[in-house]
Structure 1
Amino acid sequence: MSAAVELLARRRRRTRRGRLSPGLVFSVTVLLVFTVGAVVAPALYPDGSGAQVGAPYATPSGAHLLGLDDAGADVGAELLWGARVSLLVGVLAGVMTVILGGVAGLVSGYFGGWFEAVLMRTTDFFLVIPVLPVMIVVAALYGTRLVNTIVIIALLSWPGTARVIRSQAKTVRQRLYVRRARAMGASHARTLIHHVLPQVAPLLGASTALAIGHAIFFEAALRFLGLADRDTTSWGQMIADSFERGAITAEAWWVLLPPGLAIGLVLLSTTVIGRRFEQRANPRLAVSHLGLRSFRRAAAAKEAS
């Protein structure tokens, strides 16, 4: 059965060598569109995201493609300016998450022993910390600044990455070429950087993509609960404002739908990209997309040969 799995993985790699997955192309395109929109937002809307340009709750039109909110501000301007904050939080918190989790996972998985036990017990401690009470305490003590939101998201999100990387590092350290490198006098630092790290890099890429999407969703949830900085515009703040100001009662769907759709698209895109990185790390995961019929056909072909 394992031979059939390997055969399917090889066939899938050969088939996809010359083309890209439509889902991957779509995901990368979505992220590029939002990134470019966030970059050009000051040029398109130099007055910012809260400038009144028309009547409250004006419906979408040629002048304002996404309509206006309750204050008469362009929803399109708010969406692009909000992308600057949401993507910034997602990238910074995601990178911090992967750095913390990656270092802890690599070191604990490679060295093992009491060092691994200490790091994993620390990981377990962070896993059981309740998020909302911690955010309430942080907001009460240090305020709801954006930097506090980024740091607390990273501090509460790295344990999952650490466990995944630790598992892979424990497997890689047992491979023959790693043991040969150590036997030939390679230092621990050189072995980690040149032999172990390249093998876990696809998982780090997957963790980064997933962490960015998770951080954007987390920031939006904190905004909705009033536990983040309300002086800056983000997608989560747009959703919170639409609920507080009666957009649903006014049936102004064009105020609520764009930020929710943007968050959903970014989450979907980062998940697809993260899944692709996971498949590079473990080609057997690609078999699940081929379907049971293809699996049986390949297994029968392998047995016949």
Structure 2
Amino acid sequence: MTTTDSTAAGPAAEAAESPRALARARKRQSLARFWRAYRSHKSGLWGLAALVLIALIALVAPLLVGADSQSVTDAPGGPLESPSGEFPLGTDQFGRSVLALLVWGARVSLTVGLLAAVLCVAIGTVVGIVAGHFRGWYSTVLMRVTDWFLVMPTLVLAIALATVMDRSIWTVILAIGVTTWPTTARLVRAQTLAVESRPYIERSRALGGGHGHIMLRHVLPNVMPLVLAQTTLVISSAILTEATLAFLGLGDPTITSWGGMLQDAREAGAVSAGHWWYLAPPGIAVAVVALAFTLCGRAVESVLNPRLGVSR
């Protein structure tokens, strides 16, 4: 009896597991196809390599430069020393190593860029799908609010929010996220309208599919490639905005970021005094990371939508 039951249960278990195994196999095949297509974009590979290197440096920052390298009271060097063997990028006005500050700043800049981009894309995706799915006054109200945010200068809105709220890293993330979502909302809405015009959406409605089912099971999976590509592009903009806010003195003064380093260099008179080693490294770092994310974003966008014809 036991042998018969186990024999009968074997094919049943395999039949139950086969759809999951098939789904996992299809996902692996899709990822493999995506990676093969992505590798053909040389600029995207260069951007990805730069991001991986910078992310690894940020992760192991405590091991590379030590946690006390940000201390003002225990600074190892003199104020504004030029580059040397001990300090490859010189020191700041407090005698701290600019190279160590640059490594620590990568953690904050990448964190702010990633979280702000996720918040921006999440808001834009929800607004875009809802505005594209529901017609009538729902869509009209959402699009007029989107248009208002779209025509307002993003940096001015971010500065206003960062001014009235507490000066912290979360304030910067919130200020960037809630002011940069309209472009994503517009793109997602257009894609939602295209998806909902397809025949299988009508069949889903005829079979009793509700609004939530259609938006979550049909629309969202079809707009996710666009959302993924938009996220990689928004990250670079978020990092630049964070650097700008920190440069204007609206960042968290208790943490080290690349924008904060630029602000400190300006206050220390690095521009007029010619202390290039204090001013140039954080500016170059911001430009490199923004460029790397842009290259990755363009490559992802070209892979997911080959009709764009993005140059390789």
What is the one-letter code of the residue matched to 2:69?
Answer: G
| Paired position in structure 2 for 1:48 | 69
Aligned-pair CA distance for 1:181:
2.5
| Paired position in structure 1 for 2:51 | 31
Please provide the CA RMSD for this pair. 2.3
The one-character-per-residue Cα deviations of 1:241-283 (angstroms, maximum 9, x if unpaired) are 1122122233222211211111111111111122123223421
**2:211 counterpart of 1:159:** no
Q: 1:132 to 1:18 in 2, by over 3 A?
A: closer
Q: Distance in 2 between matches of 1:137 and 1:39?
A: 32
The one-character-per-residue Cα deviations of 1:220-249 (angstroms, maximum 9, x if unpaired) are 111111222222110001111112212223
| Paired position in structure 2 for 1:229 | 252
What is the one-letter code of the residue matched to 1:27?
Answer: G
What is the one-letter code of the residue matched to 2:56?
Answer: V
What is the one-letter code of the residue matched to 1:47?
Answer: D
5+ long unaligned stretches in structure 2: 1-32
5+ long unaligned stretches in structure 1: 1-12, 291-305
Tell me how many residue pairs correspond in the alignment: 276
Aligned-pair CA distance for 1:143:
2.7
| Paired position in structure 2 for 1:124 | 147
| Paired position in structure 1 for 2:170 | 147
Q: 1:113 to 1:281 in 2, by over 3 A?
A: farther
| Paired position in structure 2 for 1:295 | none
Q: Distance in 1 between matches of 2:99 and 2:42?
A: 27
What is the one-letter code of the residue matched to 2:236?
Answer: G
**2:67 counterpart of 1:67:** no
Q: Distance in 1 between matches of 2:71 and 2:46?
A: 31
Aligned-pair CA distance for 1:140:
4.7
The one-character-per-residue Cα deviations of 1:157-185 (angstroms, maximum 9, x if unpaired) are 11111001101111111012222222233
Q: Contact 1:56–1:68 (CA<8 Å) still a contact in 2?
A: yes
Q: Distance in 2 between matches of 1:174 and 1:23?
A: 35
| Paired position in structure 2 for 1:169 | 192
For 1:157, what is the secondary structure of its paired residue? coil
For 1:156, what is the secondary structure of its paired residue? coil
Q: 1:200 to 1:179 in 2, by over 3 A?
A: same
TM-score, normalised relative to structure 2: 0.81
Aligned-pair CA distance for 1:137:
4.5
Aligned-pair CA distance for 1:190:
2.4
Q: Distance in 2 between matches of 1:194 and 1:229?
A: 41
| Paired position in structure 1 for 2:216 | 193
**2:42 counterpart of 1:22:** yes
For 1:83, what is the secondary structure of its paired residue? helix
Structure with bigger RCO (C-alpha 8 Å, 6+ apart): 1
The one-character-per-residue Cα deviations of 1:26-82 (angstroms, maximum 9, x if unpaired) are 111111122111111122222032452223333333333322223221111111111
What is the one-letter code of the residue matched to 1:22?
Answer: K
What is the one-letter code of the residue matched to 1:33?
Answer: L
Q: 1:105 to 1:139 in 2, by over 3 A?
A: closer
Q: Contact 2:79–2:91 (CA<8 Å) still a contact in 1?
A: yes
Q: Distance in 2 between matches of 1:281 and 1:143?
A: 40
**2:121 counterpart of 1:92:** no
For 1:65, what is the secondary structure of its paired residue? coil
Q: 1:134 to 1:18 in 2, by over 3 A?
A: closer
What is the one-letter code of the residue matched to 2:191?
Answer: Q
Aligned-pair CA distance for 1:17:
4.2
For 2:70, what is the secondary structure of its paired residue? coil
For 1:48, what is the secondary structure of its paired residue? helix
What is the one-letter code of the residue matched to 1:38?
Answer: A
Query: Identity across aligned pairs (percent)?
Result: 44
Q: Contact 1:220–1:235 (CA<8 Å) still a contact in 2?
A: yes
For 1:71, what is the secondary structure of its paired residue? coil
Return the index of the structure with the highest Cα Rg.
Answer: 2
**2:286 counterpart of 1:284:** no
Q: Contact 1:203–1:277 (CA<8 Å) still a contact in 2?
A: no
Deviates more, 1:128-137 or 1:158-167: 128-137
| Paired position in structure 2 for 1:250 | 273
Q: Distance in 1 between matches of 2:241 and 2:76?
A: 31
Q: Distance in 1 between matches of 2:297 and 2:203?
A: 32
